[in-house]
């Protein structure tokens, strides 16, 4: 088993990556905890072996369950069970589970400790690390949430054995992203080393900018197009699949701005191809509609588009007025 520290002073915590390491959870349960609330989904089907008094709380599947209603339902069932501030919550599942479990933990009794146990590749390399929690509103994804760092993150790659093909792709969409954020070339790495390399990059970025005042925005590489199409009904792409197309699109935007050359664009495509990722949206998005959605992105400033773009100084957030470049770059991914 390998370990890496998320260095955040008194909020520092370890991320463990290995095989058959779910038993490690026990080590991070505080002695004060009398009860352990395990939040998961029915189909995850993983039993954590915990000696302390524990109870499983399930949440629904699908984006509609990623709601404040799920957060409130959890909190209410914790009250029923008698969960107190000295107890602890475990989020056991994909990004949706760890986001909702940690969101509920962050507001229950004004904040309860949480351990994240991600069971998807996407969760291990991104969602479970860094303390962002969130729920959707009808108006958009992850529009409400908190920053609430976990006490530990335990990534047991054995839990990925039954991961469906599409979920692997989603995870690899995020893995591809790290190739442009300073990760070593992970092609040829084992699964554990791939997860570790992504975690290393993410923990470094989170340690520099926990609350996304600046640098942390680069973790959104490829996400502006992804978020836009995720808002559109009809696009059947899952998050990581949309991120992959978004990375290709971001390379095109950077190319049309003269920030990167053809070789670098080709390198983006080579990485996406290596992970067998989708390169096109699969259906057309009206360019004017796309511009409107881009302008509503959380990163955007009034009257400007903001994209995370590659360039001589690496990947960085860039704000600009000219929507024509964004329209032109769309041609390649339509």
For position 222 contacting ligand GLY by CB under 6 A, the verdict is no
Candidate residues 91, 130, 171, 246; the one interacting with ligand GLY per rule CB under 6 A: 130
How many other β-carbons are positioned within 10 Å of the β-carbon of residue 28? 19
Residue 135, sorted as left (phi over 0), alpha (psi -120 to 50) or beta, turns out to be beta
When the beta carbons of 7 and 19 are compared against ligand GLY, the nearer one is: 7
When the beta carbons of 132 and 248 are compared against ligand GLY, the nearer one is: 132
3-state SS, residue 220: helix
For position 179 contacting ligand GLY by CB under 6 A, the verdict is no
- Taking the complex as a whole, the smallest distance from the CB of residue 78 to ligand GLY amounts, in Å, to 25
Q: Torsions phi, psi of 118, nearest 5?
A: -70, 140
* Cβ atoms of residues 100 and 132 within 8 Å: no
When the beta carbons of 18 and 240 are compared against ligand GLY, the nearer one is: 240
Segment interacting with ligand GLY, rule: CB under 6 A, options 37-45, 75-83, 85-93, 126-134 = 126-134
- Report d(CA 267, CA 273) in Å as an integer: 10
For position 290 contacting ligand GLY by CB under 6 A, the verdict is no
Contacts with ligand GLY, 200-219, as mask; x by CB under 6 A: ----------------x--x
The residue count for binding ligand GLY (CB under 6 A) is 5
Q: How far apart are the first and last CA of the chain?
A: 43
- Report d(CA 168, CA 240) in Å as an integer: 9
Residue with tokens 């969130």: 134
- Taking the complex as a whole, the smallest distance from the CB of residue 216 to ligand GLY amounts, in Å, to 5
- Report d(CA 167, CA 96) in Å as an integer: 13
- Taking the complex as a whole, the smallest distance from the CB of residue 243 to ligand GLY amounts, in Å, to 10
When the beta carbons of 33 and 136 are compared against ligand GLY, the nearer one is: 136
For position 299 contacting ligand GLY by CB under 6 A, the verdict is no
Of 211, 290, 277, the closest CA to residue 248 belongs to: 277
Write the DSSP symbol of residue 125.
I
For position 156 contacting ligand GLY by CB under 6 A, the verdict is no
For position 240 contacting ligand GLY by CB under 6 A, the verdict is no
For position 91 contacting ligand GLY by CB under 6 A, the verdict is no
Facing residues of 319 across strands? 306
Using CB under 6 A as the criterion, which residues of the chain lie in contact with ligand GLY when the complex forms?
A: 126, 130, 132, 216, 219
């Amino acid at each position: 088993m390998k370990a890496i520290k998320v260095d955040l002073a008194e909020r520092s915590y370890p991320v463990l990556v290995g095989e058959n390491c779910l038993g490690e959870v026990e080590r991070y349960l505080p002695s004060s905890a009398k009860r352990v609330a395990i939040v998961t989904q029915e189909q995850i089907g993983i039993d954590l072996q915990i000696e302390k008094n524990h109870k499983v709380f399930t949440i629904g599947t699908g984006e509609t369950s990623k709601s404040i209603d799920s957060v409130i339902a959890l909190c209410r069932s914790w009250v029923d069970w008698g969960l107190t501030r000295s107890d602890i919550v475990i989020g056991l599942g994909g990004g949706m589970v760890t986001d909702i479990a940690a969101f509920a933990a962050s507001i229950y009794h004004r904040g309860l400790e949480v351990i994240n146990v991600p069971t998807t590749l996407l969760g291990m390399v991104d969602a479970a690390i860094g303390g962002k929690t969130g729920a959707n509103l009808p108006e958009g994804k992850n529009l409400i949430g908190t920053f609430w760092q976990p006490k530990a993150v335990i990534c047991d790659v054995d839990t990925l054995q039954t991961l469906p093909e599409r979920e692997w792709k989603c995870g690899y969409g995020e893995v591809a992203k790290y190739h442009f954020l300073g990760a070593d070339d992970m092609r040829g790495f084992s699964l554990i080393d791939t997860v570790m390399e992504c975690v290393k990059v993410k923990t470094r970025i989170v340690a520099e900018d926990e609350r996304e005042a600046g640098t942390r925005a680069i973790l959104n590489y490829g996400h502006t197009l992804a978020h836009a199409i995720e808002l559109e009904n009809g696009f059947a792409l899952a998050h990581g699949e949309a991120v992959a197309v978004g990375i290709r699109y971001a390379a095109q935007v950077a190319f049309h701005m003269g920030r990167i050359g053809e070789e670098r664009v080709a390198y983006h495509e080579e990485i996406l191809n290596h992970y067998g990722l989708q390169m096109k949206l699969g259906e057309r998005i009206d360019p004017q509609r796309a511009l409107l959605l881009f302008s509503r992105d959380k990163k955007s400033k009034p009257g400007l588009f903001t994209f995370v773009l590659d360039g001589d100084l690496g990947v960085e957030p860039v704000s600009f007025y000219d929507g024509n470049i964004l329209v032109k770059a769309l041609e390649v991914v339509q």
